[in-house]
Amino acid sequence: MKVMIMGMDGYLGWPLSMHLSSRGHEVSGVDNLSRRKNVNETGSWSATPIKTMNERRIRYKEVSGKDLTFYRGDLVEPSFTDLVVKKEMPDCIVHLGEIPSAPYSMIDVDHCNYTQNNNIIGNNNILFAMKDHVPNCHLLKLGTMGEYGTPNLDIPEGFFEIEYRGRKDKLPYPRQPGSWYHLAKVHETWNIMFANKIWGLRATDVMQGVVHGVLTDDMETDDLITRFDFDEVWGTAINRFCAQAVVGHDVTPYGKGGQTRGYLALRDSMQCFTLAVENPPDETEYRVFNQFDETYSVNALAEIVSKVAKEYDLEGKIRNIPNPRLEAEKHRYEPDMKHLPALGFKPKFNLEDELRITLPKLIEYKDRIEAKRDKIKPKIFWSQ
Ligand SMILES: NC(=O)c1ccc[n+]([C@@H]2O[C@H](COP(=O)([O-])OP(=O)(O)OC[C@H]3O[C@@H](n4cnc5c(N)ncnc54)[C@H](O)[C@@H]3O)[C@@H](O)[C@H]2O)c1
């Protein structure tokens, strides 16, 4: 299958490119390298020293014998997006090419607008290019479980049956996003549903939980490793906790720590994406997958990181700190995850297993975390 990966240089895009290529797919990709620039702008860096796209592709060719085609450019430019889709004529587009940080979008009006413009317009350009050149192509689009927020109800996969004033209907489940970034994701979901309705574009909208881990089976050497961000802007809670444990800093959950989310190991996320790519929706179908393995509160995450850290003689002392975000700190969280298991998804790597791979790798790069340890403490506040 011809698969085009938007956001090929990113945390997920790079390992997925190698993974799909090693399964025999013909892989091309696009990136404007903005993630590297945006992380630099906030004064941080990846704990793992990542190679340039050219170096990565050359090294991958040396170890696998396979080529990865790469286009450097901005999906926000309609003519560029149109051109690359027309040139590649993919069977599947995996769209990961967005700005993925809630705190970044909350910095100020410029960062809010940059995030929303980048993500919503880039996504629109892909939809129009598909309509014009590959109307039968499958769009595998990365949304986030954060689109749903934390309702006091179970969370289905995209749609739910509702009865109101004696009438029943199947409707999109209400979205209650918690940042400008998450709001953009919700808007993209509406735009994809609309493109599906008017043009019959087929799409899988993946509501993905937080992905953790840094290595996959294709990373034979650290030249092929993916990025691992740990600062307040780009690092997820679990990444921050790992980095804090490695440099002997307290592990600091925000607020009361009851905030609960879905989590998924990087290697399991490769399995999920592969199943979705290789089992496309029917022509003209729009479907939603919730994608996670396990749910944890941030306190539970901190406890597990601390427990595994002790195996490596790291202290991992836990200390809750004031929450910079406005979010429920104790709530119900019961999302469904039925569609991927129905396609054969079986999680293989639980959080503790994955931490036993991630923490030793981070210990190798402890100096890089130490150099940016002042970037972990939160300075971006939702209410300011
Ligand atoms: N990593 C997670 O835990 C997670 C969880 C839920 C959802 N997601 C979603 O998955 C997707 C990928 O996430 P990630 O963690 O790999 O992020 P990432 O920032 O590492 O990767 C995104 C890549 O897209 C590129 N990009 C951004 N805007 C672009 C544009 N206009 N044109 C071309 N390239 C552009 C970036 O340079 C980057 O390399 C995002 O949409 C994110 O919201 C990720």
**Cα–Cα distance, 214 to 254 (Å, whole number):** 23
How many Å lie between the centroid of ligand 1 and the Cα of residue 122?
12
Specify the number of domains making up the chain.
Answer: 1
Single pTM value for the model: 0.98
| Cα 138 from Cα 118, distance rounded (Å) | 21
Does the active-site annotation cover 358?
A: no
**DSSP-based three-state secondary structure for 62:** helix
The confidence score (pLDDT) of residue 109 equals 98
Domain enclosing residue 247, as ranges? 2-375
For the chain, residues with pLDDT lower than 50 are none
In tens, the pLDDT along 83-128 reads 999 999 999 999 999 999 999 999 999 999 999 999 999 999 999 9
List the 92-95 sheet strands across, edge first. Answer: 69-72, 26-31, 2-6, 92-95, 138-144, 202-208, 286-291
Give the Å distance between the CA of 384 and the centre of ligand 1: 26
Residue 83 lies in a domain: yes
Asked if the structure places residue 215 within a domain, the reply is yes
Counting other chains too, the contacts that 342-348 makes at CB distance below 8 Å and 24 or more residues apart are 343/275, 343/276, 343/279, 344/275, 345/268, 345/271, 345/272, 345/275, 346/271, 347/264, 347/265, 347/268, 347/293, 347/294, 348/265, 348/267, 348/268, 348/271
- Residue among 4, 11, 114 whose CB has most ligand 1 atoms within 8 A, to mutate: 11
* Domain annotation covers residue 190: yes
Asked whether 17 and 66 are in contact (CB, 8 A), the reply is: no
Residue 322 Cα to ligand 1 middle (Å): 28
Atom of ligand 1 nearest to the CA of 146: 6
**383 domain residue, yes or no:** no
What pLDDT, on a 0 to 100 scale, did the predictor assign at position 333? Answer: 98
User: Residue 301: inside a domain, yes or no?
Assistant: yes
pLDDT attached to residue 357: 97
Per-residue pLDDT tens over the stretch 235-278: 999 999 999 999 999 999 999 999 999 999 999 999 999 999 99
**Which position among 42, 115, 141, 185 bears the catalytic label?**
185
At 328 the three-state DSSP class reads: coil
- Is the CB of 16 within 6 Å of ligand 1? no
- 15 CB within 6 A, ligand 1: no
What does the alpha-carbon distance between residue 264 and residue 208 come to, in Å, rounded to a whole number? Answer: 8
Q: Do the domain assignments include residue 243?
A: yes
Burial class from Cβ neighbours inside 10 Å (0-12, 13-18, 19+) for residue 251 reads buried
Residue 12 domain-assigned (yes or no): yes
CATH of the domain at 103: 3.40.50.720
Active site residue 226: no
Domain-embedded: residue 254: yes
Distance separating alpha carbons of residues 180 and 112, to the nearest angstrom: 6
